[in-house]
């Protein structure tokens, strides 16, 4: 029990009054005069008797009455049972506690405050109520389902911990909606405890709380934040003395409202500090730091860029893995003309992500052995070499090789190998009479043209195609681009594990001026990357992504994974090789049979959006989820946020104490009168 005005309890000192009344010296009222004793000293009757309490019941009644009246004026209430008393008046509740455990909740004391708020909600659960604890970040998961056992709920809450995942409100609200919909209890409430990051709500989430369900936000966000983050790094590669040199440039973002000056930014490679540089970043601005180049001497190295320290350390460091440049071996087959592959080879020589290792061979000199260890073959305006006909080229493609056919003046194709192409080559279409054809339709969902999807990322309309070869596509073909007259410009066909693409015009200046346009270089690179199935190894991943360990360890063997926190996992050779990345830092992966070998590493970082701590208007989120701008007061939230004044007003214990005190005073008066009359006649 607590008291709204505890200082009034000093009035309990008045209990001493009835005690004094019972112990006070009093003379007898009937005095009998004896003449013979009139000169004897007058001695009060009471003085010859030992002072003691004669009527304990009367004393206790008087003291209890005073204590009850004083307590009533002190305004008592029961904090712990306030919510339970309120809940009892409105029926049993189904409560879903949604607790945000995303990375942004690690800012300052937000996580501790959020758990304290959830604990207060749990304390409000009555005996007939049911509560479900849902932990969410990027996804949502029921941690403890529909129980009225507050001890189990508190234990589950105590075991909850922060994650490195991003914030998404949609999954948690959909889960809460599902749980509440299945409930038969009359009152249904969802309590959302979070810092309410604005980036966690896009507005397109399909969440609709029906009538009768309430959603109450409990925010632990702070008005002002100061947060410095390293959202990304970039690599620049160069060669010196036959060794590859890497220059790291790190971005530093200031998400606070105050500028920061001379913040130390450190580059570490395999745990060794390479360089530390100062940086100054304005309020809500960003800057970059370029470190001195270092030599890449290992197959892969783990690097970390760290910038300053603040209340959210998770985004003050950025992990990455650097590997040597990868070279893609390409065999270009042409007719032997000195200029037929000039533009093509120049374009491929410029590539550095990846580096293209190109060998140009005339069709008459090609042998099947030249296909070995080639990622792709380009037939550039030439007939199919005799050495590759009759199944040699087909076997190469079925095994995973790539083929790019650029059609021109000299292109012919034997009928026996027609099943390699996405269609049958037809007659030459001449567009010389006008301005020529343009490439109109492009399938932006395909990897070849995906990079051209954004505005101003490539102007195909400027290129003029004077001649091209008609193609009758087969059912298995996929058309990637068409000319303005509907003719096929680019088509693809899968053959076994390999890929075949036909460009129906030339890659030199004989049939078009494509090679003179800016779009030529990225188009050639995209075509060759795709048919060669080149996948650049990522320098880092984001928490929540999954990786296929089979891409790291080609052999089918048991794998050992060590997480950034030091947890060791063994994944059997016959088990799924998919690994979900849930921690920030560097994962190590190695074959179980070779524990001493250098491990492959996977660098993982938190979602950069977690660094933006700008909160959303909670009223806006509630309105979007429920369709109502405001909601009825939530009993559970009132329990979590109830003030002593509100609790005292709802319980009104003082009224009952005052009535009890007055009743005791009346009873005391009756008893006192009866005792007085009894003593008068004795």
Give CA–CA dist 179/237, Å, rounded: 54
pLDDT of residue 576: 84
- Cα–Cα distance measured from residue 191 to residue 32, given in angstroms and rounded to the nearest whole number: 82
What residues pair up with 243 in beta bridges, in sequence order? 240
Write down the domain spans for the chain. Answer: 2-74+652-680, 82-224+614-647, 228-322, 327-531, 541-598
Q: Tell me the C-alpha to C-alpha distance, in Å, between residue 641 and each of 39, 120, 121, 294, 652.
A: 79, 8, 9, 56, 19
Query: Residues 182, 183, 189, 192: what is their CA dihedral angle, to the nearest 10 degrees?
Result: -50
Instruction: List Cβ neighbours of 369 (8 Å cut-off, separation of 6 or more).
Output: none
User: ∠ CA 539-544-546 to the nearest 5 degrees?
Assistant: 65
Q: Which CATH number fits domain 327-531: 3.40.1400.10, 3.40.50.880, 3.40.50.300, 1.10.150.390?
A: 3.40.50.880
pLDDT at 635: 44
Report DSSP state, residue 241: T
CB contact burial 118-150 (16+ within 10 A = b; e otherwise)? bbbbbbbbbeebbbbbbbbbbebeebbebbbeb
pLDDT the model gives residue 646? 57
Crossing angle between the packed helical segments 342-350 and 520-531, to the nearest 10 degrees = 80
Q: What is the pLDDT of residue 672?
A: 72
Distance CA 401, CA 466 (A): 31
Residues of the chain with pLDDT below 70 are 1-56, 58, 77-90, 338, 352, 554-555, 629-652, 676-682
Contact 245, 294 (CB under 8 A): yes
Assign domain 228-322 to its CATH superfamily.
Answer: Immunoglobulins (2.60.40.10)
State the Cα–Cα distance between residues 444 and 451, nearest whole angstrom. 8
pLDDT at position 74, please?
A: 73
Distances (CA, A) of 220 to 117, 156, 511: 9, 20, 66
Beta bridge partners of 190: 96, 215
- Angstrom CA distances, 395 to 69, 126, 221, 371, stand at 101, 72, 62, 10
DSSP label of 198: G
Instruction: Collapse the DSSP code of 100 into the 3-class scheme (helix H, G, I; strand E, B; otherwise coil) and give the result.
Output: strand
> pLDDT tens, 642-660?
566 656 665 567 777 778 8
Give the model's pLDDT for residue 563.
95
Answer yes or no: same fold for 82-224+614-647 and 327-531. yes
Q: How far apart are CA 534 and CA 543, in angstroms?
A: 24
Q: What was the pLDDT predicted at 69?
A: 78
Q: What are the phi and psi torsion angles at 108 (to 5°)?
A: 60, -130
* Spatial contact of 422 and 472, defined as CB atoms under 8 Å apart: no
pLDDT tens for 274-332 read: 999 999 999 999 999 999 999 988 888 999 999 999 999 999 999 999 988 878 999 99
Positive or negative, the CA dihedral 66, 70, 73, 78 is negative
- Per-residue confidence (pLDDT) for residue 65, from 0 to 100: 75
CB 28 within 8 A of CB 634: no
Q: What is the CA radius of gyration of the chain?
A: 42
Cβ-in-10-Å burial (0-12, 13-18, 19+) of 574 comes to: exposed
**DSSP characters for 509-548?**
SSSBSGGGSTTHHHHHHHHHHHHTT--PPPS-EETT-EEE
Give CA separation, 15 vs 2, 7, 9, 44, in Å.
21, 16, 11, 28
| Rounded Cα–Cα distance for residues 661 and 69 (Å) | 5
CATH topology of domain 82-224+614-647: Rossmann fold (3.40.50)
Tell me how crowded residue 94 is: count the other CB atoms within 10 A of its CB.
22
Three-state SS annotation for 484-507? CCCCEEEEEEEECCEEEEEECCCC
Calculate the alpha carbon distances from 420 to 109, 423, 469 in Å: 63, 9, 17
User: Which secondary-structure segment (H or E) carries 619?
Assistant: helix 618-626
Dihedral of the alpha carbons of 432, 433, 434, 440, in degrees to the nearest 10: -50
Measured CA to CA, the distance from residue 124 to residue 640 in angstroms comes to: 8
From CA 595, how far away is CA 630, in angstroms rounded? 60
Which H, E and C letters describe 215-239, residue by residue? EEEEECCCCCCCCEEEEEEEEEEEE
CA angle at residue 651 from 647 to 656, to 5 degrees?
Answer: 140
Residue 188's closest CA among 199, 198, 176?
176
Residue whose C-alpha is closest to residue 345's, from 368, 412, 366, 337: 337
């Amino acid at each position: 029990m607590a008291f709204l005005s505890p200082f009034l309890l000093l009035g309990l000192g008045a209990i001493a009054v009835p005690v004094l009344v019972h112990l006070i010296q009093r003379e007898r009222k009937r005095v009998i005069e004896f003449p013979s004793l009139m000169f004897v000293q007058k001695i009060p009757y009471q003085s010859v008797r030992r002072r003691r309490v004669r009527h304990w019941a009367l004393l206790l009644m008087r003291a209890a009455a005073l204590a009850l009246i004083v307590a009533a004026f002190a305004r008592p209430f029961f904090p712990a049972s306030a919510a339970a008393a309120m809940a009892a008046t409105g029926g049993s509740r189904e409560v879903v506690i949604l607790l945000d455990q995303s990375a942004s909740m690690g800012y300052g004391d937000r996580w501790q405050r959020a758990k304290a708020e959830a604990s207060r909600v749990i304390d409000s659960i009555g005996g007939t109520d049911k509560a479900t604890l849902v932990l969410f970040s990027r996804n949502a998961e029921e941690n403890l389902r529909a129980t009225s056992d507050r001890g189990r709920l508190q234990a589950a809450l105590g075991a909850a911990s922060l994650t490195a995942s991003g914030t998404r409100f949609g999954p948690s609200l959909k889960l809460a909606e599902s749980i509440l919909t299945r409930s038969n209890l009359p009152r249904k409430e969802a309590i959302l405890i979070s810092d309410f990051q604005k980036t966690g709500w896009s507005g397109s989430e399909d969440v609709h709380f029906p009538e009768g369900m309430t959603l109450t936000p409990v925010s632990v966000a702070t008005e002002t934040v100061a947060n410095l983050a390293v959202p990304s790094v970039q690599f620049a590669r160069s060669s010196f003395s036959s060794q590859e040199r890497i220059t790291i440039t790190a971005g530093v973002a200031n998400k606070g409202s105050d500028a920061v000056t001379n913040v130390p930014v450190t580059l570490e490679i395999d745990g060794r500090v390479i360089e530390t540089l100062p940086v100054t970043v304005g309020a809500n601005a960003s800057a970059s730091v370029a470190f001195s180049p270092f030599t890449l001497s290992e197959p892969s190295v783990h690097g970390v860029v760290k910038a300053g320290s603040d209340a959210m350390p998770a985004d003050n460091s950025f992990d990455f893995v650097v590997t040597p440049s990868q070279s893609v071996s390409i065999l270009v087959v042409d007719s032997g003309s000195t200029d037929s592959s000039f533009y093509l080879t120049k374009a491929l020589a410029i590539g550095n992500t990846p580096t293209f290792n190109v060998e140009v061979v005339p069709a008459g000199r090609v042998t099947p052995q030249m296909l070995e260890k080639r990622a792709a073959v380009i037939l550039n305006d030439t007939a199919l070499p005799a050495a590759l006909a009759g199944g040699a080229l087909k076997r190469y493609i079925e095994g995973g090789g790539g083929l790019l056919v650029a059609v021109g003046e000299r292109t012919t194709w034997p009928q026996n190998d027609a099943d390699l192409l996405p269609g049958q080559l037809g007659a030459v279409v001449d567009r010389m009479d006008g301005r020529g054809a343009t490439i109109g339709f492009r399938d932006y969902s395909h990897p070849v043209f995906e990079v051209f999807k954004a505005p101003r990322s490539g102007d195909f309309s400027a290129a003029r195609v004077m001649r091209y070869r008609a193609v009758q596509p087969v059912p298995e073909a996929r058309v990637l681009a068409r000319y303005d007259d509907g003719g096929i410009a680019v088509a693809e066909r899968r053959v076994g594990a390999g890929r075949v693409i036909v460009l129906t015009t030339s890659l030199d200046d004989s049939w078009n001026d494509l090679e003179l346009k800016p779009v030529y270089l990225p188009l050639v690179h995209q075509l060759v990357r795709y048919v060669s199935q080149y996948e650049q190894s990522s320098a880092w991943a984001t928490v929540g992504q999954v990786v296929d360990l089979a891409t790291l360890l080609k052999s089918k063997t048991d794998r050992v994974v060590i997480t950034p926190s030091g947890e060791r996992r063994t994944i059997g050779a016959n088990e799924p090789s998919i690994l979900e990345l849930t921690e920030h830092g560097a994962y190590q992966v190695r074959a179980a049979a070779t524990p001493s070998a250098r491990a492959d590493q996977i660098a993982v970082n938190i979602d950069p959006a977690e660094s933006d701590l700008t909160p959303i208007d909670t009223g806006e989120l509630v309105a979007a989820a429920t369709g109502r701008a405001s909601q009825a007061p939530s009993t559970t939230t009132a329990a979590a946020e109830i003030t002593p004044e509100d609790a005292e007003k709802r319980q009104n214990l003082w009224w009952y104490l005052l009535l009890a005190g007055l009743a005791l005073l009346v009873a005391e008066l009756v008893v006192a009168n009866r005792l007085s009359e009894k003593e008068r006649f004795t």
